[in-house]
Amino acid sequence: MRPSLLDPLFAAVTTLDGVGPKVAGLLQTLLVRPGQSLRVRDLLFHLPSGLIDRRRREEILSAGQSSIVTLTVRIDRHVAPGRAQAGAPYRVYAQDDTGEIALTYFRAKSAWMENLFPIGETMLVSGKVEWFNGRAQMVHPDFVATLAEAETLSLVEPIYPLTAGLSGKVLRRAIGQALERMPDVAEWIEPSVVRRQTFPSLKASLARLHDPADAVDLDPASPPARRLAYDEFLANQLALALARQTMKGRSGRALRGDGTRLAALKKALPFTLTEGQTGAIGEILADMESPERMLRLLQGDVGAGKTVVALMAIARAAEAGVQSVLLAPTEILARQHAAGLAELCARAGITLDLLTGRDTGRKRAEKLERIGSGETNVVVGTHALFQDSVAYRDLGLVIVDEQHRFGVHQRLQLAEKGDRPDLLVMTATPIPRTLVLAAFGDMDVSRLAGKPAGRKPIATVALAEERLPDIVQRIGSAIEAGDRVYWVCPLVEESEKSDLTAAEERASVLRQFFGDRVGLVHGRMKGEEKDAAMAAFKEGRTAIIVATTVIEVGVDVPDASIIVIEHAERFGLSQLHQLRGRVGRGEKPSACVLLYRPPLGETATARLKIMRETEDGFRIAEEDLKLRGEGDLLGTQQSGMPFFRLARLEHHADLMEVARDDARLILATDPALTSDRGQALRTLLYLFGKDEAIRLLRSG
Ligand code: ADP
Ligand code: MG
């Protein structure tokens, strides 16, 4: 049970004055993910993005446009709109020694205005100044006070990220009340860390950030900002450490084998394993052999050759007489894996079945039967693998491919199936080290660096979209010569429909040149249609495949050597890298054409430059983190919410490791969190919504 101390923070926001259902709705979109319930706490976690400092005064004549300024002015006269001028604004003219400004209000009542702006009074007004025909005006100043009033008001005011319809004033008032509800909580951070980092208490830190005295208080390097970041990291790392403790605690099984299938597999491979692959396989087999459960992340760039590593683990599981599942995020990928692995598996004496949501009726029943009897060694599929109707005879190994979108509790759920199976997660998103800790801090990590030998570099160019005709011509000669081409159209305004239109239009334009050599694949197609389109491309019946980003993850067509990405400026760096990884997999030299629509913004320019400079996924990931923060790297972009709310990885990464070590140390000495500090840490977990982690404490 959540400590009652926190109850005021977990009340609905409508319990605050000035927050009705309408404001609550706006706060909901601003502060939490869809479907999550909004609490008073979420207001506390909404930190200011800057502040207005009204102690600095400016003069009318020199006031710049677009930034918020504070002026000291004398009220000169009122000009109310005439009766006939419906919709015309009410203007109050005011002056200082440098000039005149109109304070402009729409739909204002005369009586109210006269009261607010007494003629002859000297007042402070802040807001944005607009200049038009040499005249200055300020529309709906956001702050108005007489000099006497200003004495008592706070002249430094935080500014918050807002959403349409929500005013800063309403938000600040709500946050002010939330702060008042913040209870005193026992310190949960290790005293030595508190001292070394000079952390104020949580309550003091929140108060300081929401009521800054100066710009330095909002600096991410300030002790209050770092304290909050640390709390968030600690909650995250403690939850992961608890998950790890739970998984490891229920001991696994020692999976050993005689090596026959591994040997057969190695012989069947058309290539020799790279050093990186051999290393990763060694680590995985050692984990499987140990009686502790395997909890391993295999991190390797697109095309690094993770599949064969997984296959070796599957072979070992088969030798040990247990079943494996290989879970792919999409139907296309599941099919591709199954097709790609079928021959090797057959040669190594491993029986494979593909199970997806598309299997129905008798076919499905037959597969379930084989899985249940243990005849199937490895099942490849999508989420359908974890439906209750799927019963395994003895599931010993779960492999999750390309799925960095899984959270820790989904990983735990996966591992519930079967008898304490080993778990291997493979991700092609080369996320930076700090993010690995944040998302996979519960796991051991193997990294597949580099690419299989013999890979040719991908020539990458960025061209303005007016060069499209040239590209079409070049593509023409390339497909004459037997090349295969991906043509990617981006998401338009996040809407699947227009997304589709762009791809369909591009396909029809290309068909004017290349006829039925042009295929199309998009997210709205039925599964079978997608497969057919991909198969036609893979087999060379079509030479160009126009695609929406459904091809982003993992699709393998080694003969494809050119990828054209339209509106490259709309893609994130990691996404561009993933897309580019579709080519450069075969013998031929490859090319990536990034078509963009000018003018390019600063970030887009930087992204395209990095793409031209490097193919190193890990470097690209680090650059991506610098360019735009961590949100998208962890695949949370759909929700628009960053992974962390208080911490900013680009500033606070150093604290993450401290938090990880602290979390592991705590559990080593107090695994059930029963000590005084343990109790305080439970409060921390609740505060950050890690209730699931606390449930682990009870069940463990
Ligand atoms: P990913 O890590 O993106 O899943 P894959 O496992 O799909 O990469 O491998 C990409 C391609 O590289 C496949 O066509 C695979 O057969 C090939 N490959 C994997 N390992 C090697 C190797 N050691 N030498 C040569 N080619 C390899
Ligand atoms: Mg793969």
CB-proximal residues (5 Å) to ion ligand 2? 554
Mutate to test the pocket of ligand 1, among 307, 427, 579, 580 (most ligand atoms within 8 A of CB): 307
Q: Tell me what the mean pLDDT of segment 644-668 comes to.
A: 90
**Distance from C-alpha of 700 to C-alpha of 218, rounded to nearest angstrom:** 41
Determine which of 66-75, 90-99, 681-690 has the lowest per-residue pLDDT on average.
66-75
Q: Mean per-residue pLDDT for 559-567? A: 92
**Rounded mean pLDDT, 331-338:** 86
Give the model confidence (pLDDT) of 464-477 as tens digits. Answer: 999 999 999 999 99
Band of pLDDT at residue 699, cut at 50, 70 and 90: low
Q: Is the beta carbon of 300 within 6 A of some atom in ligand 1?
A: yes
Q: What is the pTM of this model?
A: 0.71
Res 632: pLDDT: 45
Tell me what pLDDT residue 26 has: 94
Q: Which amino acid is at 627?
A: L
The answer to whether residues 450 and 304 touch, using CB atoms and an 8 Å cutoff, is yes
What sign does the CA torsion over 16, 19, 25, 31 have?
Answer: negative
Answer whether 568's CB lies under 8 Å from 615's CB.
no
545's enclosing H/E stretch is strand 544-547
Tell me the best of 308, 458, 588 to mutate to test the pocket of ligand 1, counting ligand atoms within 8 Å of each CB and taking the most.
308
pLDDT at 537: 92
Contact status, residue 633 vs residue 429, Cβ threshold 8 Å = yes
Residue 596 has pLDDT above 70, yes or no: yes
| 31/124 Cα distance (integer angstroms) | 32
Q: Indicate whether 405 pLDDT > 80.
A: no
Report the sign of the C-alpha dihedral through residues 175, 179, 181, 187, in that order: positive
The Cα–Cα gap between 504 and 685 comes to 48
Give the mean pLDDT of 340-348: 93
Q: What is the pLDDT of residue 407?
A: 65
Q: Locate 501 and state its tokens.
A: 């239109």
Instruction: Name the residue of 265, 271, 327 whose CB sits within 8 Å of the most ligand 1 atoms, as the mutation to test its pocket.
Output: 271
**What average pLDDT does this structure show over 298-303?**
83
The overall average pLDDT reported for the chain is 87
Domains of the chain: 4-51+162-219 (no CATH), 56-154 (2.40.50.140), 260-448 (3.40.50.300), 458-614 (3.40.50.300)
Q: Take residue 580 and report the two structure tokens written for it.
A: 């580019």
Q: Please write the tens of the pLDDT for every residue from 518-550.
A: 999 887 788 788 888 888 998 999 999 998 876
Q: Ligand 2 center to residue 552 CA distance, Å?
A: 11
In angstroms, the CA 379 to CA 327 distance is 8
Confidence band of 700 (pLDDT split at 50, 70, 90): very low
Q: State whether residue 573 is helix, strand or coil.
A: helix
Give the number of the atom of ligand 1 that is nearest the alpha carbon of residue 581: 3
pLDDT at site 244: 86
**In this predicted model, what pLDDT tens digit does every residue of 414-458 receive, in sequence order?**
667 777 889 999 987 767 777 788 878 888 899 887 777 667 889
Ligand 1 atom, smallest distance to 273 CA: 23
Residue 587 CA, ligand 1 centroid: distance in Å:
12
- Proximal ligand: closest to the CA of 558: 1
- Assess whether the C-beta atom of 271 lies below 6 angstroms from ligand 1: yes
The arithmetic mean of pLDDT across residues 632-658, rounded, is 70
Confidence of residue 198 (pLDDT cuts 50, 70, 90): very high
d(CA 469, CA 463): 12
Would the pLDDT of 641 be above 60?
Answer: no
pLDDT in tens, 12-57: 999 999 999 999 999 998 998 878 899 999 999 999 988 888 888 8
